[in-house]
Each structure stands twice: as structure tokens, then as C-alpha cells.
Chains A and B, each alone.
Chain A
């Protein structure tokens, strides 16, 4: 069973061994409003911890998506080019990119669902 975690920047991170799928949380979706476009990264791009790798454009604004850990982009969700509503469905269908992480231990810093909920209520 994959582990789902959250960042303070409202990314959702699904962990499968050393591969993480990154998307955006419901909170981020609500804040952005109607989505119009996702700028996907190139496969093979290496990312530093906290580097932005994608941009979600909504009617209102553009939001960068950050990786919480360093790694390499191994896959991007091309299906989002045809159907942005996938983002709102779940991390299973609405992930933006999959990243092979360099140091899986760094994932321990992320919040689980309960901790993320506490974090949201503190905002």
C-alpha cells in the first residue's frame, strides 16, 4: 500500500519505494479555482530539494509545484494535457510527475494526512 504524504506548500506526495508521484492537494485546488493548463517538466530533468518543476495555471493565477526531495523526473502525466479534471480526482490519476528520489530518508519530513489537516486548520 502506497503511502500518501503532504507538504507545507500543499503538494500531495505518493510514495512507492524510491519513486514519488507529486500532485497538488484539494486545498491548493480550491485556492487556485478553475484550472486551465499544467506546464509539465521534461523527463530526465534532475531536481534539487524544494526546486519547482511544474506550473499549474488557473484562471486567476499561476502556481509553481515544488518537489520536497531531490531526484530525477522519470515520468510526467501527459493525460493532464487532455483532461485537467484528473487533478481533482485523486493523486492516482491526477499526479503531475513521478520522481526517483536520491535519498528516501528525506521523505520522513513530510506530513501524514492527520498532520496536514492540523496544519491546514492552523493557517
Chain B
């Protein structure tokens, strides 16, 4: 089993460990998953996501390279800006979903899913032009600090000002104590927060320095899954896979109008025009119970509409929420049934997210709407 540089610290904290993509990772710590989940929404939670891959691309043609491998557009991505996109295969399916940041000086920084690392790197290599240098940062750990108190805590621990770093922005910092840091204002929880890429040898001291703050608690991968579920964020291997197109996945917003020549474009452009037969939707249970991955969804007349790809208990809504691929004719706000252990439970197709994001941009937007209204 692979270990992150923080492995021993998790064990010392009493984490229940589990295997994820070949890594021994903390699932939860002493207080349990629900307490951790709520802590992230109310304060600040610290996650070890060092199992994810961190890859740099340097060269003049990196934007064109990503425009070939993804349906997004990178030529106009400003320096310090991050973009969410999907890596496409020839059949128009998704190899991985990931975030790429323009670090300036022809350097782009990508964070890829742990379980997809090997195939992604192989795919990158296969398509890499000679003028681009690709480098996987195996010498780096990745911490995520998520929650409304993240900015205050991170500023005080690093003695840096993050007030000008906007949502989906990334910068490099040469820190006197922790070395080179790549800090991005984004995450997988819907809260304001940061991902901090740090050299392995400094990761434990940075982790401990953050945890010393009373408002910060360590959070395991189980709560991370619940948090992303409430936000309706897809998880690779569940909502996304090599057979699923970005249109089906309801990710058409990652597809740039400028881009018609990316790998897998044939299917995607056709689907854009003629539609798809199944699409990702949110499902919220009205009855008590928990509908998990694999649960079938039916309309009131009894016809099967599709299957849930993720599902679980939402501590914030105190209800079971999840996502499903359903007949594309389905509409939001429609009543449906889900079958859990041979019982029909009442549910609803709903728009995602289940709860409003509170990322920096969203908080600003809501404040503005309030003052205008």
C-alpha cells in the first residue's frame, strides 16, 4: 500500500484508515464523519489529498496541447487562473476530470485524480509535442484547507495575504519556512478554501502548524465524499468514466465554442446538436432512508429511468441525496421512486447543487445581489 508523507500523522491522530487508489488514506478521525462534515461547513477542515497527481507542463504550445486533449479553451486563460476540464478519449468518453492552472511563463500546473494518474500520464505522453516538458511532482504533497475560516487561518500560519486571490486562482509562493508552495483557491467541498501543494519534506510541519489552530480539524475522505455530494460535484469512477461524455455528465459548460478539434469532438459535437439519451441529474429522497450507488430510479408509472451513481446521507439537509443517470427527457422537480431493498421510496429529481456553494466568488455574488435587491 502506498503512503502519503502524512501517513504517520494520521495514525497518530487516531484516523480510521482505508485504501483509496492504492493509498492508505484517512477515512475519518475520532469525532466521526457527520461531525467532520459540519465542521468544514462551519469552520475549517484540513484534508490530506496527497494521493492526487500533480503535473507541470512547460512550453509555448501548452494551451494548444490542452485544447487538443480537452474540449476547453486555454489560449485566453489568464495567468494565475485555474480551469476545470475533462480529459477526453477518442470515443468522446472521459479519461479523467481535472483542474489546470496557468502559472505564467508558459507553465501550466494540473492536479489529476489518484486513481487515474497512470493512464493520464500515459495519455499525456502519447500526445505530448516535443516542445513541451512534462514533469510529475512526486516530491510534493497536497493539502486542502476548506471552510469559511480557511483564509484567516492560512494567512496567519503562512503570514501571507490571500485577500486578492480569487476563486479558481492559483499562485506560487516562496515561503521562508515551508519552501515553494503552489496555492490555489478552490476545492471539492463548495466552501471557500485552498489547495496547498508543498514539498514532501515540509508537508508534516505545515499540516501540524495548521492543525494547531483551534478552528482547524483534520477531515477524512468519507466526509469529503459527503461534502462533494451535497455540491453535486461528479466523482471520477462514479459519475464519470470512459464511456460517459461531458454532455451526458451535464458538463457542457466546460466545452468551449472555440474548440471543435479536440480528441473525441465527433461524438461531443454531435450530441450537442442532437442530444443524448441519458443525463446526470440530482436525486433527493423525500422518504426516510438512504439511497446509495446502484439504486434504481423509476417514474411514477413504473418505468425505469436509470441508476444512481453516488448517493448518501446529507448531514446538512438531513436527507439522502445523490446523482443518477436518467432518461434525458426527465425534468427537474419531477417526483420519482427509488427502490431500496425492494421498497419504493419517494424521491425527487432536483437541480444541482443541493445546497448553495459558498466559494469566494459565490459569496461576493450573493452579497451583490442582496445589495442590489
Q: Is the CB of B290 within 8 A of A62?
A: yes
Q: What sequence of 0s and 1s flags, for each residue 28-58 of chain B, a beta carbon within 8 Å of any chain A beta carbon?
A: 1000111100000000000000000000000
Decide: A57 near B341, CB < 8 A? Known: A33-B33, A37-B289, A37-B290: no
A34 at the interface (CB under 8 A from B): yes
A33 touches B32 (CB 8 A): yes
Does B312 lie at the interface of the complex (its beta carbon under 8 Å from any beta carbon of A)? yes
Cβ contact within 8 Å between A60 and B289: no
Interface residues of A in 43-60 (CB under 8 A from B): 55, 57, 59-60
* Closest Cβ–Cβ distance, residue B42 to chain A (whole Å): 17
B346: shortest Cβ distance to chain A, in Å? 14
Interface string of A59-73 (1 = CB under 8 A from B): 110100000000000
Does B238 sit within 8 A of A, measured CB to CB? no
Could you say which residues of chain B place their CB within 8 Å of the CB of A36? Answer: 290, 313
Asked if B234 CB lies within 8 Å of chain A CBs, one says no
Our pick among B34, B288, B341, B343 for the contact of A34 (Cβ within 8 Å) is B34
Residue pair A37, B33 in contact (C-beta under 8 Å) = no
Residue with the greatest number of chain A CB neighbours at <10 A, chosen from B288, B289, B290, B341: B290
Tally of chain A residues near chain B (CB < 8 A) = 11
Asked if residues B288 and A60 are in contact (CB atoms below 8 Å), the reply is no
Contacts of B148 on A, CB cut-off 8 Å?
none
Residues A57 and B222 in contact in the complex (CB < 8 Å), given A33-B28, A34-B34: no
Do A81 and B32 touch (CB < 8 A)?
A: no
Please determine whether B313 and A59 come into contact, CB atoms closer than 8 angstroms: yes
Q: A33-B32, A33-B33, A34-B33 are in contact. Are A57 and B226 (CB under 8 A)?
A: no
Interchain CB contact under 8 A, B288 and A59: no
Nearest A residue to B318, CB-CB: A36
- A59 lies within 8 A of B289 (CB): no
Which residues on the B side are within 8 Å of A55 (C-beta)?
A: 341
The answer to whether B33 touches A57, judged by C-beta atoms less than 8 angstroms apart, is no
| Minimal Cβ-Cβ distance residue in B for A59 | B33
Our pick among A39, A60, A62, A81 for the contact of B33 (Cβ within 8 Å) is: A60
Check if A57 sits within 8 Å of B32, measured CB to CB: no
For the complex formed, measure the closest distance between the CB of B225 and the CB atoms of chain A, giving whole angstroms: 9
**Contacts A33-B32, A33-B33, A34-B32 known; A59 to B341 CB distance under 8 Å?**
no
Q: How distant is B306 from chain A, measured CB to nearest CB, in Å?
A: 21
A18 to B351, CA, bound (A): 52
- Given A33-B32, A33-B33, A34-B34, check contact A39 B289 (CB 8 Å): yes
**Given known A-B contacts A33-B28, A36-B313, A57 and B289 have beta carbons under 8 A apart:** yes
CA distance A66 to B290 in the complex (A): 20
Minimum CB–CB distance for B116 against chain A, Å:
24
B290 near A57 (CB under 8 angstroms)? yes
List, in ascending order, chain A residues with CB within 8 A of B32's CB: 33-34, 59
Q: How far is the CA of A46 from the CA of B313 in the complex (A)?
A: 31
CA distance A37 to B311 in the complex (A): 14
Most chain A CB atoms below 10 A, which of B34, B35, B226, B343: B34
Interchain CA distance A37-B288 in the complex, whole Å: 7
Bound Cα distance from A33 to B290, whole angstroms:
15
Interface residues of B in 290-332 (CB under 8 A from A): 290, 292, 312-313
Minimum CB–CB distance for A66 against chain B, Å: 14
- Flag if B341 contacts A81 (CB, 8 Å): no
Q: Closest chain B residue to A62 by CB distance?
A: B290
Residues of chain B within 8 A of A81, CB atoms compared:
288
What residue of chain B has the Cβ atom nearest to residue A39's Cβ? B289
Residues of A within 8 A of B290 (CB): 36-37, 57, 62
Q: What are 26 sample pairs from A and B whose C-beta atoms fall under 8 A apart?
A: A33-B32, A33-B33, A34-B32, A34-B34, A34-B35, A36-B313, A37-B288, A37-B289, A37-B313, A39-B289, A39-B343, A55-B341, A57-B289, A57-B290, A57-B313, A59-B32, A59-B33, A59-B34, A59-B226, A59-B312, A59-B313, A60-B33, A60-B222, A62-B290, A62-B341, A81-B288
Interface residues of A (CB under 8 A from B): 33-34, 36-37, 39, 55, 57, 59-60, 62, 81
Identify 20 new A-B residue pairs, CB closer than 8 A, beyond the known A33-B33, A34-B32, A60-B33. Answer: A33-B28, A34-B33, A34-B35, A36-B313, A37-B288, A37-B289, A37-B290, A39-B289, A39-B341, A55-B341, A57-B289, A57-B290, A59-B33, A59-B34, A59-B222, A59-B226, A59-B312, A59-B313, A62-B290, A62-B341
